[in-house]
Structure 1
Amino acid sequence: MEETHEHLGARAAQLISAGSFFYHRGWMPATAGGLSARLDDHRMVITESGRNKGELGHDGLMMVDLDGNVLSPGKQPSAETFLHIILYRRSPRIGAVMHTHSVSATVLSRIVEGAELTLTDCEVLRTLPGIACRDASITLPIFGNDQDIPQLAAQVDDHMNRHPDTPGYLIEGHGFYTWGRDAAEARHHVEAFEFLFDCELQLRRLKP
């Protein structure tokens, strides 16, 4: 039990740190967004619904199992918790999931024609897994903002069955999801993608 508490404490500290950083960068305004980390094959720790991520403490986190059952009495998970669960179910290599609501990601998800956003020709792409050169490209799917979360999760799962190397996705008018082997890698992915989103939005503004 002591080892479990230590493991939970380490994961919680990583999520608290990421939440503060993202909030102060403007990527998780008000109470928007959600952060989670895998504890084991059956459980995760995730931010409680309605919590300001810039003021997040251990009391703003909770445990949920991968069937969606609340393991922290008296706490309320976000309605989007199942979007985290579906990723952990997919692969034991996914150790953390992060969901941001930046201006750039939200705007791009609304103005891009079609159901995907392609990012290309930027040095920061090389910081992402599987990208070896700056002139490579990466494509993110854009899903409609379906309030039926299980249905939305099924769409995400279906897409990833067909495109297993997908590193993240956008929800139209809503925000961005990405993940990693652990919280540190997922946080790195958020930073890289948010920079790429900013660049893409600026380029689109400059085009005649």
Structure 2
Amino acid sequence: MFRPAGPAALSSLRSAVADALAVAFPVRCAGCDRPDVDLCAPCAAELASDALERRLPGGLRVRSAVVFDGVAARVIRAFKEDGRTALASALGDVLREVWPPEWDAVPVPIPASASSMRRRGYAPVVLVCRRAGWRPYELLRVARPTADQRALGREERAVNLSGVMGVRGRAVARLAGRDVVLVDDVVTTGATLAEAARALAAAGIHVIGAVTIASTPLRGASSR
């Protein structure tokens, strides 16, 4: 009779598989380049949530897990730009920690543009939401192309993103009046989150706040 493997056996199996993959496909820690591991224990500890909070000019409350610097910045870049999707689990753990327990709402990810989907083959924010244990509600869509935000200042970012997002009408009908929380990877000026909140408010949807993995000042901007 078949008996499922116990926790110890499963742990040994996962370890053996990881060792085999490390030989066939060598990896290095995304945070410090230590060999044979996607994210080493010391770098994972560097990602521990510190629950940073700010309010955007329009009043939107934004909670972020870490500062976009050092190990956190390297790990997020490896996940987004190098296709290292195995890091999504660690980032999902970090993101889950900053969701306030009093928020009874639906997570709505900031959408990826068509060009980034073609380049990456996956939507980073959606994937991290799933690894956080959430069921992301893909309510928003990118309505038009934009310039690269990294080269723009605060006011230029706001202009670049003005009117760029729309709401999926059929998805709204299934929302059944629930409040929503916006989810993104990194917040810089808050222009992307503000535009998303505007689009949702125009569709009659109440946004109670936003959560992001990281927060960065405008200088050295790397995201939105």
TM-score w.r.t. length of structure 1:
0.30
Larger radius of gyration: 2
